[in-house]
A and B are shown apart, each in its own frame.
Chain A
Amino acid sequence: MKKRMCILLSLSLLLTGCWDRRELNELAITLAMGIDKVDDEYRLTAQVVVPSEVSMQASTGRSAVTLFQATGETIYEAFRKMTKDSPRKIYPGHLRMLVIGEDLAREGLAESLELLSRDWELRSDFYVVIAKEKNAAEILNVTTTLEAIPANKMFSTLKTSETAWSGTNGITLDELITDLEVVGKEAVLTGITVSGDLEIGTSKQNIESITPAARIQYDNLAVFNKDKLVGWLTEEESRGYNDITNSVKNTVVSISCPKEGQASIEIIQFNSKLKGNVKKGKPEVDIDMEVKGNIGAVECEINLTELETIKELEKITEKRLEDVVTKTIESAQNRYQSDIFGFGTAIHRFNPKEWEKLKGQWEEEFSDLKVNVKVDVKLQRMGTIDNSFLEKLKD
Chain B
Amino acid sequence: MGFFNKKKDKEKSKSSASPPIQVKDQNQNDRNALEIKLQDNISKIKDSLGKSADIIIREINLGKDGSIKAGIIYTDGLTDTPSLQNFILETLMIDTKVFEMQKKVTPERNLIGVLKDYAMTVGEITEITKFDVLLNDLLSGDTIILIDGYSQGLTISNKQWVERGVTEPTSQTVVRGPREGFSENVRVNTALIRRKVKDPNLWLESKVVGERTKTNVALMYINGIVNDKVVEEVRQRLDRITIDGILESGNIEELIQDAPLSPFPTVFNTERPDIVAAALLEGRVAILVDGTPFVLIVPALFIQFFQSSEDYYQRADIASLIRLLRFFAFIIALLAPALFIAVTTYHQAMLPPALLISLAAQREGVPFPAFIEAMIMEITFEILREAGVRMPRSIGSAMSIVGAFVIGTAAVEAGIISAMMVIVVSITAISSFVAPTYDIAIAVRMLRFAFMAIAATFGLYGITIGLIALILHLCSLRSFGVPYMSPVAPFNISDQKDTFIRLPKWKMFSRPRLINQQNEVRQQNSSSAKPKPTETKE
Contacts and interface: CB of A to CB of B under 8 A. Distances in A.
A17 interface: yes
Contacts of B462: 13, 16
B165 interface: no
A17 B457 contact: yes
B349 A94 contact: yes
Interface residues of B, number: 31
Contacts of B360: 24-25, 27, 29, 49, 51
Interface string B242-272: 0000000000000000000000000000000
B472 A21 contact: no
Contact of A29 (B356, B454, B456): B356
Nearest to A12: B465
User: A18, A22, A91, A149: which has the most chain B beta carbons within 10 Å?
Assistant: A18
Interface string A211-238: 0000000000000000000000000000
Contacts, number: 89
User: A23, A49, A54, A91: which has the most chain B beta carbons within 10 Å?
Assistant: A23
A96 interface: yes
Interface in B354-397: 356-366, 369-370
Interface in A1-16: 2, 5-6, 9, 12-13, 15-16
Interface in B471-519: 472, 476
A340 B349 CA distance: 33
B348 A18 contact: no
B315 to A, nearest CB: 43
B468 interface: yes
A54 B357 contact: yes
A380 B54 CA distance: 101
A109 interface: no
Nearest to A120: B349
A29 B366 CA distance: 17
Contacts of B337: none
Given A13-B462, A51-B357, A93 B348 contact: yes
Contacts of A27: 348, 360
A134 interface: no
A320 interface: no
Contacts of A93: 348-349
Nearest to B469: A9
A24 B356 contact: yes
The list of the 5 closest CB pairs from A to B, nearest first, reads A55-B361, A51-B361, A51-B360, A93-B349, A25-B363
Given A24-B344, A152-B353, 13 more contacts: A2-B472, A6-B469, A9-B472, A18-B459, A22-B348, A23-B345, A24-B345, A24-B356, A25-B366, A52-B361, A52-B364, A55-B362, A58-B364
Interface of A: 2, 5-6, 9, 12-13, 15-18, 20-25, 27, 29, 31, 49, 51-52, 54-55, 58, 91, 93-94, 96, 121, 123, 149, 152
18 contacts: A2-B476, A9-B468, A9-B469, A13-B462, A17-B457, A21-B369, A22-B345, A22-B348, A23-B369, A24-B348, A24-B359, A27-B360, A49-B357, A51-B358, A51-B360, A51-B363, A94-B349, A152-B353
